[in-house]
Structure 1
Amino acid sequence: MRDRSSTEESAISVGRSTMARRAAIGSAVGSALEWLDFTAYGAVSATVLPRLFFPTLDANTAILASFATFGVGFCARPAGGIVFGLLGDRVGRKNVLLVTFALMGVSSMLIGLMPPYSSIGIWAPALIVLLRFVQGFALGGESTGAQLFAMEHAPAGRRGLYGSFVNMAAPASQVLANGMLVAISSVLDDRAFLQFGWRIPFLMSVLLILLGLYLRSRVSETPAFEALKARQVEVAGSAVGKPKVRVRDHWRTILRLLIFWGGPASCYYVVTVFSITFIVKHGLLSTRATFLCLMSASVVAVGTTILGGAATDRFGRKPPLIVASIVMLVTSCLYFRLLETGSVVLTIVAMSLFAGSIQAQSGILPSFFSEQFPTSARYAGSALAYTGANLLFASPTPFVAAWVTQRSEGSTAGVTAICVGLVSASLLALMISPETRFVDVDAPE
């Protein structure tokens, strides 16, 4: 009997380990594919969209208008986070993630098919704004859901590492998106790139949808959610799959996490979006060299994402977060001075330090956020904090940075001050947060 019991337990352990790896890989690949389209939009919003969809505006105003459409995606993310978060806490993580992936793919494909202003007039920017909203709505549910899906499947002592695989998607998408744009712009001349070359990453969404849906369909629902359903049937007699959501009871935690993530979220788009416009507009580097610098920094950021998540399984969540925050604070003071040298090497160093320190925190975020909430409010609570920070801080960043720089006649002192202020507030919110490394995410509520 003991041998049989031991064999059964071993089989269950192996099965869960296999499912955990599938969940981590499926979530990471799926998120990377979704972020690819979202990131590609950020790159073309700084270079292509002002000319194709806002040709009646002067150059400065067109850039501001293009960055405003970029921000629309972030405005939609809290709505997606709320809707899909509540659904994810009711019907499960897996079903919601299949819907968000399909929604992102369809909207991205339609962006790639969108005629320019010269063909359909005002409908072009209007439809771009609508599709950007849908992109953000889908990503609002996807970003948190994928993190939870990997983290809730992960072994207790490796939640930090497994969760970091998902947030590796953002820098990986920078490498893929900018790599594709560099390759396409190298093959095509400027006219051909403007006409159809920029559309290729978006049109590839058809293939990405099929791959993402296949990967996610092979993973079961998370053990934490299955345990929650079983407990509700046993204790309260409630309907299966209809958990009691108590998000309002955790508003202080949501607010604290929102402030914490505000600094990294905002600074990330200073590096990946505003920097492109700043460097190219001031003639510091060519467009191609700028994309290559950002790609190099993103490769570094992929590594620091995994490093951050792995470090938390050994040292706890807060110590690595504090170290990364301090590096980010120091870098924010020096960032634009390094860019203004016009040196490719120093630009790569600056972008790598900034993006690397941000992504080290991003690798820790899935475990750190999810461990602050019970299972029945984990999806919605984490989504509100994460997407709320992106709405309030990240979404206006490219627009505000461009406006402040224009108003100060090219000076970056104002943007630097904003970054330093946000990172300082983030560090303060982190210092007052509890350590959550040993929280049992499957514990009864």
Structure 2
Amino acid sequence: MNDVTDKGASHSMANRAVSAATLGTALEWFDFTLYGAVAATILPKLFFPAMDSNSATLASLATFSVGLAARPLGAIICGYFGDKVGRRNLMLGTVSVMGLTSVLMGLLPTYAQIGVYAPLLLVILRIIQGFALGGESTGGQLMALEHAPADRRGKYSGLIGMCAPLSQILANAVLLLLSSTMTAAAFTSYGWRIPFVLSFVLVLVGIYIRLRVAETPAFVKMQQSSIAKVGSPLRDAFRLHYKTILRMMLFFCGPTALFYLAVVFTLSYLTNTLGVPKQTGFMLLMIANACAIVGSIGGGLLSDRIGRKRALLLASAATFVIMMFYFQVLATRSFVPMAIAMGLFMAFTQVQTGIQPVAFAEVFPTNVRYSGSALAFTGASLFAGGPIPVVATWLLHLGNGSPWALVALVGALNILSFCMIAIGPETAGIDMNRLDSAAEIAGVHEPVSRQATY
């Protein structure tokens, strides 16, 4: 009876953990992606009015990239303390910081009101927001996956992976509603600020849910070992697992570039280059992100059945093929073909993103899991996520509207990602409670077969 009760309690806590991670991370991504949408459409006029249209768009998208550039610092600091003091405590802090910076963004004066200080304050808030998200993304994933049963980690991973597209739907639905019910002047003046200010209420809900989740069994077990007292997570991650960190970062460069190409640059491309109305652009993104949710959950479930590696390889190959005709279909300006192309593009990209949490969590031992995963995840965002909207806009301008240089760049990142998946091991079902050995941490040189496996 006790075993049954314990198993029931364990499953209950696992469900609570994945609910907290999914909702909490979606709420934080809502704030982050909301900025991406307005950066492509509204902010160039309000914060960079002295520039020409193309330069203003580049500058506005650059402020989006600044937030992503701050994520590795958040990953390093939050990863260290997450491996030292626990996953739960860090998540409570990051969600609070995100809520505060969102409110301040919604209240920020424009260039017309305070001059150059407006874009400067905008950049500072983006740095703080990116720092918080750098620690949050991995913490939420680990909180759920270290609670999850071994045979359902892929399912839980897919639920976490749907946070980004779910937040895109919420953000674009709010913007579509506001832009459709307000005059263009009112929306540009104050309408875009409303979701930033109100998002703080949603963040409070995320804090409440996370307070009801216990610390993970893997971390509790690690705290009871001698490694918790002698190990330095960041040092051990770099010293013992630098090859794994690099491989996982390079793998995720492909999906990250594709995701930001779709959700940030595509909106700017549709509205500014193709002349598609903003409302139509928002609707297309909502449809694409609905497909992405299906892709994320489906990818997680598929990885439980055929393994992480095979599922990732299939999705990576599919995104490469779709990329070859993506911009040609968008150029038709026909709603249904554009919706299909964007839906397929986002769905197969998100299959990989849905598997990413579990693939990253399984490849690192508990004592460096937060640090190693966060470094790989945010490293991919820094090198291939944040710069993509800016680079894409620049390449499109250089090519006089032709997207082929951009297709070549993203295609190369996709091929690199495919190769990193191919050379990596299969990790499905691996023991999530494992630790580095005391000899490894102490720097004793001895054969370690386990290290070579990962």
- Give yes or no for TM over 0.5: yes
Match of 2:256 in 1: 265
TM-score normalised by the chain length of structure 1 = 0.96
Identify the match of residue 17 of structure 1 among 8, 11, 30.
Answer: 11
Offset, 1:282: 2.6
Match of 1:274 in 2: 265
Offset, 1:244: 8.7
Q: Kindly provide the CA deviation profile for residues 275-312 of structure 1, in whole angstroms up to 9, marking residues without a partner as x.
A: 11111113342111111011001001001101101111
Number of aligned positions between the proteins:
435
Match of 1:179 in 2: 173
Whether 1:231 and 2:225 are equivalent positions in the alignment is: yes
Q: Kindly provide the CA deviation profile for residues 176-230 of structure 1, in whole angstroms up to 9, marking residues without a partner as x.
A: 0000000000110100000111011110122022101000000000000001011
Match of 1:290 in 2: 281
**1:139-218 to 2 correspondence within 5 Å?**
139-218=133-212
Contact 2:222-2:228 within 8 A present in 1 as well? no
Offset, 1:444: 4.6
Is the partner of 2:41 in helix, strand or coil? Answer: coil
| Partners of 1:183 and 1:27 in 2: CA distance | 27
Whether 1:44 and 2:38 are equivalent positions in the alignment is: yes
Between the aligned residues of both structures, percent identity stands at 45
Offset, 1:9: 1.4
Offset, 1:51: 0.3
Whether 1:302 and 2:296 are equivalent positions in the alignment is: no
Offset, 1:135: 0.8
| Partners of 1:309 and 1:283 in 2: CA distance | 35
- Consecutive unaligned residues of structure 2, counting only runs of 5 or more, are 437-454
| Partners of 1:433 and 1:164 in 2: CA distance | 20
Q: Kindly provide the CA deviation profile for residues 71-96 of structure 1, in whole angstroms up to 9, marking residues without a partner as x.
A: 00110000101110011000000000
Contact 1:316-1:437 within 8 A present in 2 as well? yes
| Partners of 1:386 and 1:365 in 2: CA distance | 9
Match of 1:404 in 2: 395
Match of 2:213 in 1: 219
| Partners of 1:101 and 1:226 in 2: CA distance | 23
One-letter amino acid of the counterpart of residue 27, structure 1: A
TM-score normalised by the chain length of structure 2 = 0.94
Match of 1:247 in 2: 237
Offset, 1:70: 0.6
Contact 1:300-1:356 within 8 A present in 2 as well? yes
| Partners of 2:186 and 2:347 in 1: CA distance | 34
Is the partner of 1:132 in helix, strand or coil? Answer: helix
Q: Kindly provide the CA deviation profile for residues 236-274 of structure 1, in whole angstroms up to 9, marking residues without a partner as x.
A: 6938x9879610110000111111000110111111111
Q: Kindly provide the CA deviation profile for residues 302-352 of structure 1, in whole angstroms up to 9, marking residues without a partner as x.
A: 011011011111111011111100110001111100100111111111111
Whether 1:118 and 2:112 are equivalent positions in the alignment is: yes
Is the partner of 2:208 in helix, strand or coil? Answer: helix
Match of 2:444 in 1: none
RMSD value over aligned CA atoms?
A: 1.4
Contact 1:244-1:376 within 8 A present in 2 as well? no
One-letter amino acid of the counterpart of residue 392, structure 1: F
| Partners of 2:92 and 2:429 in 1: CA distance | 30
One-letter amino acid of the counterpart of residue 412, structure 1: P
- Consecutive unaligned residues of structure 1, counting only runs of 5 or more, are 1-6
| Partners of 1:219 and 1:283 in 2: CA distance | 47
Is the partner of 1:40 in helix, strand or coil? Answer: helix
**Distance 1:243-1:275 versus aligned 2 partners, 3 A rule:** closer
Match of 1:431 in 2: 422
| Partners of 1:237 and 1:432 in 2: CA distance | 31
**Distance 1:228-1:397 versus aligned 2 partners, 3 A rule:** same
**1:328-339 to 2 correspondence within 5 Å?**
328-339=319-330
| Partners of 1:242 and 1:19 in 2: CA distance | 29
Contact 2:79-2:234 within 8 A present in 1 as well? no
Offset, 1:99: 0.3
One-letter amino acid of the counterpart of residue 33, structure 1: L
Offset, 1:164: 1.8
Contact 2:138-2:373 within 8 A present in 1 as well? yes
| Partners of 1:436 and 1:121 in 2: CA distance | 53
Whether 1:53 and 2:47 are equivalent positions in the alignment is: yes
